[in-house]
Amino acid sequence: MHDFHRAKFPSHLYSMYRQLTCSLHLRKKTCVVLAFVFAVWLGEVSGWAQQRPVAGTKDKKAADNKPATPAAGDKFQQPSPDWLPPSFQPLPESLAIMNLEQPIVTKEELAKLKKDFSGKFTKALRDCDLSASGKQIIEGGIRFKLAEMTLQEKKKDLPDFHKLPELHKTLMREITPGSGIGTPNTKPADVALAVQFVNQEIVRQIPELLVNNFYVRLHAVLILSEMDYAPAHALLLQVIQAKDIHEDPVKGQPEAIKIAAMQGLVRILRFTAPPVKDRSVIAAAIVDELKKTETHWWYQLRLIEGLRHMTVAIDAGNNKPFVIEALLAVIKDPKRSWPVRAKACYALGRVPIPSAVNPADVVTGISDCALQLSNAAQARPNNPIWKNCFWDLYLAFRPDGTKEKDGKDKDLDAEKKIAGGLLARFKPVAQPAYDVIVPICSGVIQGKAPDPGDVMKLSAFVKGRLGQAGAGAVPKEEEPKTGEAPKNNTVNKVPNPQLNGNGSSQPVSLPRP
Beta strands 158-159; 154-155: pairing state: antiparallel
* Residue 39 burial (CB count, 10 A): 19
pTM: 0.75
Say what the pLDDT of residue 157 is: 56
**Residue 172, C-beta contacts closer than 8 angstroms, at least 6 positions apart:** 223, 226
Spatial CA neighbour of 346 closest among 307, 317, 298, 295: 307
**Residue 54, C-beta contacts closer than 8 angstroms, at least 6 positions apart:** 60, 62, 63, 66
Say what the pLDDT of residue 488 is: 36
Q: What angle do CA 406, 408, 410 make, to 5 degrees?
A: 115
Phi/psi zone of residue 388: left (φ > 0), alpha (ψ -120 to 50 degrees), beta? alpha
Query: What is the dihedral sign for C-alpha 390, 392, 398, 399?
Result: positive
Spatial CA neighbour of 168 closest among 228, 229, 227: 227
Which helix (DSSP H) or strand (DSSP E) does residue 220 occupy? Answer: helix 214-226
Q: What is the mean pLDDT, run by run of 10 residues, along the chain of 513 residues?
A: 47 54 56 58 46 48 51 59 75 82 91 92 94 96 94 64 87 92 93 96 96 93 95 96 91 94 95 91 95 94 95 82 94 95 95 91 95 95 93 93 83 86 92 95 92 94 73 45 36 35 50 66
Question: What is d(CA 211, CA 144) in angstroms, rounded to the nearest whole number?
Answer: 18
**Residue 411, C-beta contacts closer than 8 angstroms, at least 6 positions apart:** 395, 399, 400, 401, 402, 419, 420
Spatial CA neighbour of 197 closest among 265, 143, 129: 129
Q: Residues 438, 450: contact at Cβ < 8 Å? A: no
Say what the pLDDT of residue 30 is: 63
Question: What is d(CA 270, CA 264) in angstroms, rounded to the nearest whole number?
Answer: 10
